[in-house]
């Protein structure tokens, strides 16, 4: 029996994996989803107790301190230290307990700031990350270094995936700590709530609206992470992203959201706010070699599902 422990199992990606696994569970697999209430992964003893209780054979390591541009900019040291501690505790405890495979999550936003495009898996360590999120980035990059070490020294198949921006149900919608899509959704929700007329309202988007991003629906990412756990047998990281042609500007995202919320007022771009990296286009060519026919959910459909979920679950969402 394979016992799969999912750290960060209560978060955006963890919940999506739970959702997919409900329909795609295999006979020889037992899945365990844990959040910060089950163990503080910044703490070695708490991490040990978790592994002692569940004795996993496989780990999907999602737990991390995660935040949007503005939260990262003001808390780089916290992002660095918390993530280094969590990653080292999980990887090393897993090794001590004989875990045979780990899939950890890096992110496309940890790549070098100055780079050529599209970014690919060989470029993770090729230069400093964008100054806005260096703490998070260096902590994440070290997972790849550790994976290589566990393979070289112990023959372990600990690998990593590199998702682009993720969105979907169970995201963090907190106004100051959220990523762009849930942040904009939260603002639109507040503008549109109680069926108020929106014609004379203003929806302010921070930044110019020009930066380009690839967004992956959490359910699509969940399917790909489960595939990586079952089938992807290399220590080398693999980018899990939509195709390059599916890149969107922040303005396109804001307008899609405004339409989905049926917002009738004015969309305004506050150019005094930081834009972050202009683009960070990633190539999914490696993924496409393995899964040429994988169908990503169309953006409008996935946004609609996410907005519907948020409106229905506002009271229990992370606000
Ligand atoms: P969330 O913020 O939604 O969830 C974070 C998870 O980590 C939660 O389950 C949380 O537990 C858990 N966690 C945080 N701190 C601790 C701790 N000290 N001990 C134990 N558990 C802890 O993150 P996402 O689902 O968005 O991200 C999942 C992974 O994907 C992360 O590694 C992230 O870096 C990566 N990623 C995310 C992207 C995105 O756009 N969201 C993009 C690219 C990569 P609880 O909720 O119970 O407190």
CATH of the domain at 19: 3.40.50.720
139, pLDDT greater than 90: yes
Give residue 62's Cα distance to chain centre: 8
Query: How confident is the model at residue 200, as a pLDDT?
Result: 84
Query: Does the pLDDT at position 73 exceed 90?
Result: no
Give me the pLDDT at residue 251, please: 97
Q: How many domains does the chain have?
A: 2
| Same domain assignment for residues 97 and 208 | no
Question: Does 129 score more than 80 pLDDT?
Answer: yes
In a domain, 287, yes or no: no
Residue 174: what pLDDT?
86
Q: Which of 97, 117, 134, 136 is catalytic?
A: 136
The pLDDT of residue 238 is above 70:
yes
Residue 166 phi, psi (nearest 5): -105, 145
Q: Which of 18-22, 74-78, 91-95, 315-319 has the lowest mean pLDDT?
A: 315-319
Asked whether residue 108 falls in the same domain as residue 257, the answer is: no
Give the whole-number percent of the chain exceeding pLDDT 90. 84
- Assess whether 39 and 91 both reside in one domain: yes
Indicate if 136 belongs to the active site: yes
C-alpha to C-alpha distance for 126 and 112, rounded to whole angstroms = 6
User: What per-residue confidence (pLDDT) applies to 177?
Assistant: 62
Least confident stretch, 28-37, 195-204, 240-249: 195-204
Range of the domain at 260: 170-212+247-278+298-316
For 48-52, 149-153, 276-280, 301-305, which range has the lowest pLDDT when averaged over its residues?
276-280
- What pLDDT does residue 72 have? 77
Mean pLDDT of 133-139: 96
Q: Which residue in 172, 164, 305, 136 sits closest to 242, CA to CA?
A: 164
- Is residue 145 scored above 70 in pLDDT? yes
CA of 198 to the centre of ligand 1 (A): 34
CA of 286 to the centre of ligand 1 (A): 25
Distance 62 CA to ligand 1 centre (A): 6
The reply to whether 203 and 231 lie within a common domain is: no
Strand partners, 206: 270
Tell me what the pLDDT averaged over the chain comes to.
Answer: 94
For the cut 80, the answer to whether the pLDDT of residue 9 exceeds it is: yes
Rounded CA-CA distance 12/179 in Å is 11
Based on the number of CB atoms within 10 Å of its own CB, is 302 exposed (0-12), middle (13-18) or buried (19 or more)? buried
Q: Which two tokens stand for residue 292?
A: 């040429």
E strands, the chain, where? Answer: 2-7, 29-34, 58-61, 101-105, 157-163, 165-167, 202-206, 212-213, 215-217, 238-240, 248-249, 266-270
* Contact of 104 with 148, CB cutoff 8 Å: no
Integer Cα distance of 272 and 270 in angstroms:
5
Q: Does 285 fall in a domain?
A: no
* Same domain for 78 and 104: yes
Phi-psi domain of 141 (left: phi exceeds 0; alpha: psi -120 through 50; beta: other): alpha
Ligand 1 pocket at CB < 6 A: 8-14, 35-37, 39-42, 62-66, 86, 105, 107, 163, 165-166, 172, 179
Residue 178: band (very low, low, confident or very high) from pLDDT cuts 50, 70, 90: confident
pLDDT at 69 over 80: no
Task: Tell me whether residue 284 is in a domain.
Answer: no
How far apart are alpha carbons 181 and 184 in whole angstroms?
A: 5
Is pLDDT larger for residue 197 or for residue 252?
Answer: 252
């Amino acid at each position: 029996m394979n016992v799969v422990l999912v750290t960060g199992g209560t978060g955006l990606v963890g919940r999506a994996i739970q959702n997919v696994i409900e329909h795609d569970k295999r006979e020889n697999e037992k899945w365990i989803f844990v959040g910060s209430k089950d163990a503080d992964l910044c703490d070695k003893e708490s991490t040990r107790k978790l592994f002692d209780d569940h004795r996993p054979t496989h780990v999907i390591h999602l737990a991390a301190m995660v935040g949007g541009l503005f939260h990262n900019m003001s808390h780089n040291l916290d992002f660095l230290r918390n993530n280094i501690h969590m990653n080292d505790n999980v990887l090393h405890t897993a090794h001590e307990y004989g875990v045979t495979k780990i899939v950890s999550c890096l992110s496309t936003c940890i790549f070098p700031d100055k780079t050529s495009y599209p970014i690919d898996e060989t470029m993770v360590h090729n230069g400093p990350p964008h100054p806005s999120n260096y703490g998070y980035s260096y902590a994440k990059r070290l997972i790849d270094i550790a994976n290589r070490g566990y393979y070289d020294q112990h023959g372990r198949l600990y690998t990593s995936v590199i998702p682009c921006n993720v969105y979907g149900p169970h995201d963090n919608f907190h106004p100051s700590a959220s990523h762009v899509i849930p942040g904009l959704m939260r603002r639109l929700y507040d503008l549109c709530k109680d069926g108020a007329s929106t014609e004379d309202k203003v929806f302010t988007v921070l930044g110019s609206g020009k930066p380009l991003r690839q967004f992956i629906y959490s359910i699509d990412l969940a399917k790909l992470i489960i595939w990586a756990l079952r089938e992807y047998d290399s220590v080398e990281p693999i980018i899990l992203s939509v195709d390059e042609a599916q890149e969107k500007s922040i303005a396109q995202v804001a307008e899609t959201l405004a339409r989905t919320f049926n917002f009738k007022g004015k969309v305004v771009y506050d150019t005094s706010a930081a834009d972050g990296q202009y683009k960070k286009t990633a190539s999914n060519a490696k993924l496409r070699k393995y899964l040429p026919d994988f169908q990503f959910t169309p953006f409008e459909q996935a946004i609609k599902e996410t907005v519907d979920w948020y409106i229905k679950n506002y009271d229990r969402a992370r606000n």
